[in-house]
């Protein structure tokens, strides 16, 4: 399946189990792989045959910077649901949400949730 990829989007959100995370907020990075047939858009050069990247960004921003959730898993799941519902031509999506600075002890670059959802899973 063809893909549109949006990588390294950065947002400020208030997700987490600890009160400090909900009050102070922190950075979240989002990478998306959107699966659909891109051949009609490629042949026609018509935007209506594809997905508007700006709309994808705005939906992602609204979800990540919106309602506070305890788990990054819930953020990723909600985003996948929103994208699959909004774009009728979207067949499936991979959503990766990275939390670079979680308040847990240890040395690591980040923690991330990576999910794959399809309209056929429903």
Tell me the per-residue pLDDT of 40-52, one tens digit each, with 9 for 90 and over: 999 999 999 999 9
**pTM confidence score:** 0.94
The residue segments making up the domain with residue 106 are: 3-121
The 10s digit of each residue's pLDDT in 47-102 is 999 999 999 999 999 999 999 999 999 999 999 999 999 999 999 999 999 999 88
* CA separation for the pair 1, 19 (Å, rounded): 42
Tokens coding 33? 């792989």
> Structurally, how many domains does the chain consist of?
1
Alpha carbons within 13 A on the beta-carbon side of 4: 22
Query: Taking Cα atoms as reference points, which of 87, 88, 52, 81 lies closest to residue 67?
Result: 81
Candidate list 23, 61, 99, 119, residue with the active-site label: 99
99 is catalytic: yes
**Alpha helices of 1-122 — where are they, by DSSP H?**
19-24, 39-44, 53-64, 72-86
Looking up residue 35, the CATH number of its domain turns out to be: 3.30.1130.10
* CA separation for the pair 44, 70 (Å, rounded): 44
Give the length of the chain: 122
């Amino acid at each position: 399946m063809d893909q549109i990829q949006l990588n390294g989007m950065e947002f400020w959100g208030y997700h987490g189990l600890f009160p400090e995370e909900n009050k102070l907020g922190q950075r979240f990075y989002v990478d998306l792989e959107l699966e659909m047939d891109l051949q009609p858009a490629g042949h026609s050069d018509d935007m209506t045959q594809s997905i508007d990247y700006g709309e994808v960004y705005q939906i992602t921003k609204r979800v990540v910077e919106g309602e506070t959730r305890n788990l990054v898993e819930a953020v990723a799941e909600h985003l996948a649901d929103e994208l699959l519902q909004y774009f009728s031509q979207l067949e499936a999506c991979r959503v990766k949400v990275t939390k670079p600075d979680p308040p847990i002890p240890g040395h690591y670059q980040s923690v991330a949730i990576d999910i794959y959802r399809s309209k056929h899973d429903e």
